[in-house]
Chain A
Amino acid sequence: MTIVTGKIEPMGTMAAEHGLIEIDRVRKSFGAHAAIDDVSLALGEGHFVTLLGPSGCGKTTLLRMIGGLETPDSGSIRIAGTPVASFSPIDRPTRMVFQSYALFPHMTVEKNVAYGLQRRRMPDAEIKTKVAAQLEVVGLSEKAKSYPSELSGGQQQRVALARALVTKPRVLLLDEPLAALDLKLRQRMQAELKSLQRSAAITFVYVTHDQHEALGLSDRVVVMEKGRVAQRGTPAEIYHRPANRYVAEFVGDISVLDGTVRGTADGGARIETAAGLFMASGPAVRPGDKVHAIIRPESVRVASGDDGTGANRLRATVGSATFRGADMLVEFRGPADIRIQTSIASTAPEAAAITPGHTVTLELPATALWIIPADRNANASESSL
């Protein structure tokens, strides 16, 4: 996962993208619970799109509706212009990979993978060739005659992928496919998924609650909250230019300065906070607006010198420091009980000066201090625990 620090990539043009999957004003309730509440989205062809959110946010329901396994109460989902409900089972361009893999336990690996092709009435000889080729791709050729119960979790996952991919879908839907794997294997499978998606050149719609997975794998991320879309964009946009506090807190650590807009400039604003005036960048705001200015730990700089009065600077005292190997996560306390989290490389010269009670000058660069309107976070604090 590489995140470009301090530098903001140009805003994506997702709304203007031609949508392979067009979701229009979709609602879906289970009893009194609204799982999906008026969602409209266009997902582009060939992208690795991630639906990201905590459990219960509706991401799996949305995925299952794209796959035709659930029907929307209202609204429509179209793939390449055709409503999902009107595809025949064989023509439907989506295929699903389940969290539990859902392999057929009474069939060998080979027969599992062949199943979709058999339903398409492909000649046996052709099926044999395609199955062998697909098993080769996922590296399971020698397991062709094994039963799923004889395979490890990672191998079962590969069979599930092969079974779906061999039928050449235009869209592959993946429901938390790596959730059951341990960390090392998960990381390896992430890399494999990404390269599979590239080489097969098909659209992946991937559901996860893991923000690292989402940021690392995706071309586009759709962050969901309580059945609605909280934000969509590239991983860099989601991370560096969150639309609201919910998104900012869900995709990583942030420090927050509450303030009021005192003046606007090109692409930014001057904000008055309890710790003084700060220049910040962000969407257009008006003087007098209540805002949050947020910053990621890696963007905060420990400035040299004792001068806490310069631009975007404040004096802060070391509260606690957590050693994390490559870096330390340090929590500073500034004026008016403002808390600022900073990550400092273990090898950095200033790391030695980080002892509890020590006071330093922090610089919050204007390009990394991001403005979020305060009225957008009405329910953020409760859902970000």
Chain B
Amino acid sequence: MTRGHGIGTFTLAAWTALVVLFLLLPLFVIVAFSFNDSDFPSFPMRGLTLKWYWRFLESEELLIALWNSTLVAFATMVLATTFGTLAAIGLARSGSRTQKYMRPMLSTPMMTPRLVVGIALLNMFNLLSMQLSLLTVIVGHTVVAVPYVILVVTARLVGLDPRIEEAATDLGATRTRVIIDILLPLLRPAVFGSALIAFTLSFDEVVVTFFTTGTENTLPTTIWAMLRYGITPEINAVSTLTMIATVALALGAEVMIRNGGVHRR
């Protein structure tokens, strides 16, 4: 290895470290301050404490928000995964022209700014005279999450040999049986993975929630409201917990989608 090569490698490594630091430093700051024994987020840290976490657990407002968020995320997960998976299967089986026009249309909510999606939903709910509640939040989140499910499930569908479905049909399976016996088991990793993505999307969602919720608040909107009084250590504690939960879910989704190639029980 030449010396020039060594310097190049070192520069690249240093640059990479810098980028990683840039990406992760803010998160480290939040985690650090959530354990800081001080009312104000400032260095140097005055000592370690878990009291901000206890305060979160004692706050009725935050616990209700957590419950609302979980409820909404769970409902969104079920709805978006069901609709998205069926849509992906339907799309894969439809003609090339249908696919050409339907695929961009179905991914529009993913491309559109959330702000626009939120305003559009609010308009629609007003038009339908629907009372804003957690239900309308669930509808809104489902609209946002379905395109992601379609995307993930479609990617897996494309990798499946279409002859496998034909073989099942050839052996006497009806369309429904092909879906139940063949497609769903083979799509399972993608379906579960996209379910976790839908859950995470909903759990983190602020903008659409802001427009579609009534009097109830979810965890992100509660935190948003609390920020009016500045960043409190409590917020750092809640954010740290949220971060751990969503990172775990996202990693779980990735593992599921990636390990999909192994055909075992």
**A positions within 8 Å CB-CB of B:** 67, 69, 89-90, 92, 94-96, 98-100, 102-106, 115-116, 119-120, 147-149, 163-164, 167
Tell whether B13 is near chain A: CB-to-CB under 8 Å: no
| Cβ A119 vs Cβ B172 within 8 A | yes
Contact with A along B161-185 (1 / 0, CB 8 A): 1011011111111100100011001
Which 3 residue pairs are nearest across A and B when measured between Cβ atoms? A119-B172, A116-B171, A105-B263
Question: Which of A96, A104, A147 is the one whose CB lies under 8 Å from B170?
Answer: A96
Instruction: Chain A residues near B167: list those with CB within 8 A.
Output: 96, 98, 102-104, 163
Q: Is the interface of A mostly helix, strand, loop or mixed?
A: loop
Q: Of A104, A147, A167, which contacts B164 at CB under 8 A?
A: A104
Given the known interface contacts A96-B166, A98-B167, A106-B186, the answer about A89 and B263 at a Cβ–Cβ threshold of 8 Å is: no
A115: which B residues are within 8 A, CB to CB?
A: 168, 171, 173, 181
A78 vs chain B, min Cβ distance (A): 19
Residues of A within 8 A of B172 (CB): 89-90, 92, 116, 119-120, 167
Query: When the two chains form the complex, which single residue of A69, A95, A99, A147 contacts B171, counting CB atoms closer than 8 Å?
Result: A95
Pair B182/A119 contact, Cβ less than 8 Å: no
Asked if A106 and B263 sit within 8 Å, CB to CB, the answer is yes
If A147-B264, A148-B263, A149-B263 touch, whether A102 touches B169 (CB-CB below 8 Å) is no
A156 to chain B, nearest CB (A): 12
B164-A95 in contact (CB<8A): no
Q: Which residues of A contact B264 (CB under 8 A)?
A: 147
Binding site for A on B (CB under 8 A): 161, 163-164, 166-174, 177, 181-182, 185-186, 263-264
On whether the beta carbons of B263 and A119 are closer than 8 Å, the reply is no
Contacts of B182 in A (CB 8 A): 104
List of B residues within 8 angstroms of A167 by Cβ: 171-172
Interface of B is mostly: helix
Indicate whether A102 sits within 8 Å of B263 (C-beta atoms), given known contacts A67-B170, A95-B170, A119-B173: no
Contacts of B166 in A (CB 8 A): 69, 96, 98, 102
- B185's partner among A90, A106, A119 (CB-CB below 8 A) is A106
Give the chain B neighbours of A120 by CB distance below 8 A: 172
Q: In this complex, what residue of A is CB-closest to B264?
A: A147
Are B177 and A119 in contact, CB atoms less than 8 angstroms apart?
yes
Pick the most buried of B161, B164, B167, B174: most chain A CB atoms within 10 A of its CB. B167
Question: Nearest chain-A residue to B162 (Cβ)?
Answer: A102
| Cα A90 to Cα B173 with chains together (Å) | 8
Which A residues lie within 8 Å of B186 (CB)? 105-106
10 intermolecular pairs with C-beta atoms under 8 Å apart: A89-B169, A92-B172, A96-B170, A98-B163, A99-B163, A100-B161, A102-B163, A104-B181, A115-B171, A119-B171
| Extra inter-chain contacts (12) besides given A67-B170, A90-B172, A100-B161, CB under 8 Å | A69-B166, A89-B169, A89-B174, A92-B172, A94-B170, A96-B166, A100-B163, A103-B164, A104-B164, A105-B186, A115-B181, A116-B171
Residues of B within 8 A of A98 (CB): 163, 166-167
Q: Which residues of A contact B168 (CB under 8 A)?
A: 104, 115
Closest Cβ of chain A: how far from B218's Cβ, in Å? Answer: 38
Residue among A67, A105, A163 with the most chain B CB within 10 A? A105
Q: Taking the nearest CB of chain A, how far is it from the CB of B112, in angstroms?
A: 35
Residue of B nearest to A95 (CB): B170
Chain A residues positioned under 8 Å from B181 (CB to CB): 104, 115
Whether A102 contacts B171 by the Cβ 8 Å rule is no
Report the nearest A residue to B170, measured CB to CB: A96
A262 and B261 alpha carbons, distance in the complex (Å): 69
A212 nearest CB across to chain B (Å): 26
CA distance A149 to B177 in the complex (A): 23
B265–chain A nearest beta-carbon distance, Å:
8
Distance between Cα atoms of A69 and B168 in the complex (Å): 12
Taking a contact as CB atoms under 8 Å apart, the answer to whether A69 and B170 are in contact is yes
Kindly provide the distance from the CB of B58 to the nearest chain A CB, expressed in whole angstroms. Answer: 48
Return the contact of B173 from the options A69, A89, A100, A164 (Cβ within 8 A): A89
Instruction: Give the distance to chain B from A94, nearest Cβ to Cβ, in Å.
Output: 8
Residues of A within 8 A of B173 (CB): 89, 115, 119
The distance from the CB of A134 to the nearest CB of chain B, in whole angstroms, is 13
Whether B161 pairs with A102 at a CB distance below 8 angstroms is yes
A33 to chain B, nearest CB (A): 15
The interface residues of chain B lying within 8 Å CB-to-CB of A164 are: 170-171
Which residues of B lie under 8 Å from residue A89 when comparing CB positions? 169, 172-174
Q: How far is the CA of A83 from the CA of B147 in the complex (A)?
A: 42
Which residues of chain B are near A149, meaning CB under 8 Å?
263
For the complex formed, measure the closest distance between the CB of B83 and the CB atoms of chain A, giving whole angstroms. Answer: 24
A87 CB to closest chain B CB (Å) equals: 10
| B residues near A105, Cβ cutoff 8 Å | 164, 186, 263
